[in-house]
Amino acid sequence: MTSTITLYGIPNCDTVKKARSWLTEQGLAYDFHDFKKQGVPAERLPAWMEAVGWEKLLNRQGTTWRKLDDAVKAQARDSASAAAVMVEHPSVIKRPVVQWPGGRITVGFKAEDWQALLQA
């Protein structure tokens, strides 16, 4: 169990920027894991998929997904194959992924949801 907030994402993603600003405004310290520089922590993917489902974690609405070759898109048909695509193309992961103190995992950013989570 971790007592630190870890935010996983890409620094130039607007949603990640909003999430990071929100955490800072709340006075919450966090670690940032940059998918572009540090890669996707493949050992964490199974826990993320178990927490939110691989279908939610794989962002099929994003620009990166739309630019992928159809053959690559077709490979993502279950959790194992989706994980392989996410490791190879980190930008297809819905962002941010956050590991909260106590082990809870969330995907995406909504200030009201995060506020409720902190008050729980």
- Enumerate the active-site residues: 13
Question: What SS3 state is found at 30?
Answer: strand
CA distances from 96 to 7, 71, 72, 113 (A): 6, 26, 23, 13
* Strand blocks (E) in 1-120: 5-9, 30-34, 97-99, 105-107
CA distances from 105 to 8, 46, 48 (A): 11, 12, 7
Which two tokens mark 111? 């200030």
Count CB atoms within 10 A of the CB of residue 84.
15
